[in-house]
Amino acid sequence: MRLADRMNRLGTETAFEVLVRAKALEATGVDVIHLEIGEPDFDTPANVVEAGCDALQGGWTHYGPAPGQPDLRDAIAEYINRRGTAYTPDQVVVTPGGKPVMFFVLLALLQEGDEAIYPDPGFPIYKSMIDFSGATAVPLPLREEHGFRLDVEELARLITPRTRLLIVNSPANPTGGVLERSDLEAIARLAVEHDLVVLSDEIYAEILYEGEHHSVAAFPGMQERTVILDGFSKTYAMTGWRLGYGLMPGELVGHVAKLMVNSVSCTASAVQRAGLEALTGPQDEVRAMVEAFRRRRSLVVEGLNAIPAVSCVEPKGAFYAFPNISRTGLSSKAFADRLLDEFGVAALAGTSFGAHGEGYLRLSYANSEENLRTALERLEACVRSLG
C-alpha cells in the first residue's frame, strides 16, 4: 500500500514498544519489573470513578460541545488561574488526553519553513509532531550539569527569524527537572522579543517536591502567546480515561475546536463529568500520591547513587529518575536491552527522548517500594556483570 509521505515524518513513543517486549518476555515465565511506562500505579480516586459511573447511568452518553462542557471549562480556568494567569473559560479546550493539545496546536500553527524549538531529552511526541507539521524541529539540549533545566543563553542562540514556537515542559519528562522562576522570566523575555508562541506542557505541575509551580504564561506579555497543556492523566491517575485540556489565546480556540470537530468531535461526555469531580472534589488522594512518589524518589535516587559507575541527580518533579550510566561503557540502548533481557527490569534508554539522552536511562518510579528495591538490586547486578 502506498502511504502518504508525511507518515515518514511521524515518530513514536518507545515506552509502548518496550512495554510490549516486556510483556512478551513475561509470557515466557520471566519475572519483569516495569519501570518503563509513564503512568501513576495508583487507581483513580473512588469519588471520581463514582462520578463517571453516575454520569453514564444518568444519560451523559451523547455528543457534547467540541471545546468541552461549560462547567468543566469554568472549573479548569479557575484551577489554572491559581498559577497567576487570568484565562477565561472560553479559552479552555477540553481534549481526550493532553496529547491532542500538542497535536492540534502544532498543526494549527506550524508549517514548512517554520522552526520550532523543543527540549532534548524531552517527551518524544514534541519532535514527532513538529516533524509531522512540516516545520523544522530544533533540539534544545537539557544538561545534567545544569540540573536538566534549559540554558537560557543556549536557547537565545537557537532562535532565528524563522522560529515560531518554543516548547517548555516543567516539571519535565524524562529528567524530572524543574525550571526556576528566573528561567521562566528569561524565557518570557525572549518569547516576547522574538514574537514566539510558547507551548507550556505543565502536565506534571502537581507532582512537584519543592516550592510552588510557576507557569510561563503568568509573566508579562505571555498569556496572549502561551498555550498551557495540562490534564488529568498524571495528577488524578486517569491515564486510561483520556482527559486533558489546553488554555490558549482566544484567537486560537476556534481553530483547535475545528480540529476537534474534524477528528474526535468532542471528549467523552461522562469522562468530562468525572473530570469535574476530580477538580472540584477532595484532593487528599492527590496529596497522598505525591507523598508516596516523594518517598520512592529518595529510595531510588539513593539506591542509584550507591551503584558503582551510576549517578543520579535528584529529580525535583514528575515520577522519573534519569540516571547517568555512561561510565558503564554501554550505550543507553544496549544497557536498557541488557537490563530487560538478562535482569528483568524494563526501563527506557535515554535516547528514546532524543540524542542528548545518550548515556542515561529513564526509570519511572511509579511502582511499589518493594519492586523498586528489587529493581535496584537487579540494576546493580547488571552493572557488576559488565566487570
Chain residues that interact with ligand PLP, rule: CB under 6 A: 38, 97-99, 123, 169, 173, 201, 203, 231, 233, 239, 244
In the complex, minimum distance from the CB of residue 172 to ligand PLP, in angstroms, rounded to a whole number: 7
Are 363 and 34 contacting, i.e. CB atoms less than 8 angstroms apart?
A: no
Region of residue 94 (left: phi > 0; alpha: psi -120 to 50; beta: else): beta
In the complex, minimum distance from the CB of residue 76 to ligand PLP, in angstroms, rounded to a whole number: 14
Closest residue (Cβ) to ligand PLP? Answer: 97
The dihedrals phi and psi of 307, each to the nearest 5 degrees, come to -90, 130
Q: Which is nearer to ligand PLP, 38 or 315 (CB)?
A: 38
In the complex, minimum distance from the CB of residue 173 to ligand PLP, in angstroms, rounded to a whole number: 4
Looking at residue 306, the DSSP 8-state letter turns out to be T
Are 282 and 47 contacting, i.e. CB atoms less than 8 angstroms apart?
A: yes
Region of residue 35 (left: phi > 0; alpha: psi -120 to 50; beta: else): alpha
Q: Which is nearer to ligand PLP, 179 or 383 (CB)?
A: 179
**CA dist., res. 243 & res. 247, Å (int):** 14
Q: Which is nearer to ligand PLP, 169 or 332 (CB)?
A: 169
**CA dist., res. 376 & res. 378, Å (int):** 5
Residue 4: count of CB within 10 angstroms of its CB: 7
Q: Which is nearer to ligand PLP, 174 or 303 (CB)?
A: 174
In the complex, minimum distance from the CB of residue 94 to ligand PLP, in angstroms, rounded to a whole number: 12
Q: Which is nearer to ligand PLP, 233 or 326 (CB)?
A: 233
Residue 84: count of CB within 10 angstroms of its CB: 13
**CA dist., res. 223 & res. 269, Å (int):** 28
In the complex, minimum distance from the CB of residue 95 to ligand PLP, in angstroms, rounded to a whole number: 8
Q: Which residues pair with 345 in a beta bridge?
A: 33
**CA dist., res. 285 & res. 268, Å (int):** 24
In the complex, minimum distance from the CB of residue 20 to ligand PLP, in angstroms, rounded to a whole number: 17
Q: Which is nearer to ligand PLP, 94 or 307 (CB)?
A: 94
Q: Which of 295, 315, 317 is nearest to 360 (CA)?
A: 315
Q: Which is nearer to ligand PLP, 99 or 164 (CB)?
A: 99
In the complex, minimum distance from the CB of residue 232 to ligand PLP, in angstroms, rounded to a whole number: 7
CA 127 to chain CA centroid, Å, is 13
Q: Which is nearer to ligand PLP, 176 or 231 (CB)?
A: 231
In the complex, minimum distance from the CB of residue 175 to ligand PLP, in angstroms, rounded to a whole number: 11
